[in-house]
Structure 1
Amino acid sequence: MFRSYIARLKSIVGDKKAMEIINNALVVVSAGTNDFILNFYTIPTRRLEYPFISAYQEFILKRLDNFLRELYSLGFKETKRGCCGTGLLEAGFMCNAFSPSCGNRSEYLFFDSIHPSEATYNYVGDLLEEDIRNWIAA
């Protein structure tokens, strides 16, 4: 997937500019719903710690709830639905120029029903930049 992105980027901006963009990029990997369920079944220690899937679900939901409450305190007013369309079902290609979008995108945690918004990525980027600067200065 990343290789196809590089090829597409090179075709748009050229080899030199593409490499400049990639070398200065921050890459964020976002774990989704399938990652949570797969971790329960593929990591043996998870089943020892949480013998039933319902206990593991409760653990995940509690952590997610705490995370969303913290984000709300940072200015994200809508943390349960995306900015695109209804915010519940649309994702990827279903969010396009013909889809309605929210008025104030900076208050939305998600752009569509799965992917974080630009405001979310900016917040994460700022946190990482601060941590990296502190680490380098130490």
Structure 2
Amino acid sequence: MPTPLQGALTFLQQLDLFKDYKQKLDVAIGKEKTNDLITNASYLISSGTNDFTLNYYGPIPVRQLTYPNISGFQQFMWQNIQQFIQELMDEGAKKIGLVGVPPIGCLPAMITLHSKHPILNRECIENLNAISKMFNQMLQDNLDGLRRPDIKIMYLDIYTPILDMVEQKTSYGFEEVHKGCCGTGLIEAGFFCNSNSLICDDVSKYIFWDSFHPTEKAYRIIFDSLQSHLLENIL
């Protein structure tokens, strides 16, 4: 459910691209091989982080105008995710992983925007983390209604490993957990982190690359935490 400012593809646009890809595969390898490929492929869906951090709790909280109550916004998000998964299954997908949202209150940009003293007191915003936990629980509960005997759908938890890295940073070899490596580490993201930006001396000591996204090392730790579940259920 991105806003035009984000420049991200909507669910419907992504589905249209997927259907177009299927048609091209039909021409290239035939319908039977295409169906076999689509059926045996694994699909990972990640949705929600930008919706919370940019659209609802960002500097221009446009979604709060339509959904003043966070529970209503979460339900709106689930309805879109549900529709996307259902249409993906209708197109032949049978192995689907849905990634939950991270502890958004620990993202450097959210600390900058919502802390009373963002420079001196860089700690996770607990009420925002509670929103993440509530939404992730909704995802887990609602996925049960989408499961079919011949279709595997699983929830993938990224909240726990990221929070654990923040709270147990020395165990993972991190030193800085509330600022990004790029620029000031307080608010920059996307094209504001580029070849002209100042960066930290040792990125391996940082959980976050910019004010939203984890570093390569952090992503590896997240993947390792999910690997056994992925191999067992959808890969």
Indicate the TM-score class for this superposition, using the shorter chain for normalisation.
0.5 to 0.7
Match 2:174 to one of 76, 85, 108: 76
- Superposition CA RMSD, Å: 4.0
Secondary structure at 2:179's aligned position in 1? Answer: strand
Counterparts of 1:30 and 1:105 in 2: how far apart (Å)?
A: 26
Q: Any stretches of 5+ residues in structure 2 without a counterpart?
A: 1-7, 18-24, 29-40, 58-63, 75-124, 134-158
Equivalent residues of 1:106, 1:119 under 8 A apart? yes
Counterparts of 1:43 and 1:28 in 2: how far apart (Å)?
A: 19
Shift of 1:118: 1.4
Residue 43 of structure 1 corresponds to 71
Shift of 1:121: 1.2
Residue 112 of structure 1 corresponds to 210
Query: Taking structure 2 as the reference length, what is the TM-score of the superposition?
Result: 0.36
| Counterpart residue type for residue 133 of structure 1 | L
| Counterpart residue type for residue 83 of structure 1 | C
Question: Relative to structure 1, is the Cα distance of residues 104 and 26 closer, same or farther in structure 2, using a 3 angstrom cutoff?
Answer: farther
Which has the higher relative contact order, 1 or 2, with Cα contacts under 8 A spaced 6 or more apart? 2
Question: Relative to structure 1, is the Cα distance of residues 107 and 134 closer, same or farther in structure 2, using a 3 angstrom cutoff?
Answer: farther
Alignment pair present for 1:121 and 2:141: no
Equivalent residues of 1:72, 1:79 under 8 A apart? no
Residue 53 of structure 2 corresponds to 33
Question: Relative to structure 1, is the Cα distance of residues 26 and 106 closer, same or farther in structure 2, using a 3 angstrom cutoff?
Answer: farther
Equivalent residues of 1:26, 1:125 under 8 A apart? no
Identity %: 31
Query: Taking structure 1 as the reference length, what is the TM-score of the superposition?
Result: 0.55
Shift of 1:96: 0.7
Equivalent residues of 1:81, 1:113 under 8 A apart? yes
Shift of 1:27: 6.2
Equivalent residues of 1:84, 1:90 under 8 A apart? yes
Question: Relative to structure 1, is the Cα distance of residues 103 and 29 closer, same or farther in structure 2, using a 3 angstrom cutoff?
Answer: farther
Matches within 5 A, 1:79-94: 79-94=177-192
Pairs aligned (count) = 109
